[in-house]
Amino acid sequence: MNRTDDIRSRIVAAVLDSAEGDLTEQDLAAADWSLAGVSYSSLAYIRMIDTVENELGVYLDPEEESERFATIDGIVDLVCQHLRESADA
């Protein structure tokens, strides 16, 4: 498993955990990995962001990057970008 796949798996796990049992990976896949497509709540977003920040050591600002929080792929790209930037610093 490469680094991006690991990050994706961790983000999917954070999304599912933050939904508190109201969401499955199959639901996400059926919605083309769109959080809006599965009616992901604002409280779930907050919990997911907190988990991702703590587990991966990045700071995510949903107000600056709101469009990237719409899908799992967008969140993965954003986290990978932050990790690359912190490695380059």
Read off the pLDDT of residues 38-48 as tens digits, 9 standing for 90 and up. 999 999 999 99
- H/E stretch holding 32 reads none
Q: How far apart are CA 15 and CA 8, in angstroms?
A: 10
pTM, two decimals, is: 0.91
**Domain parsing of the chain, residue ranges:** 3-88
Domain 3-88, second-level architecture = Orthogonal Bundle (1.10)
Angle, CA 62 vertex, CA 49 and CA 84 arms, to 5°: 75
Q: Is the pLDDT of residue 31 over 90?
A: yes
* Tokens representing residue 6 in the block: 């690991």
User: Model confidence over 51-86: pLDDT tens digits?
Assistant: 999 999 999 998 888 889 999 999 999 999 999 988
pLDDT at 1: 67
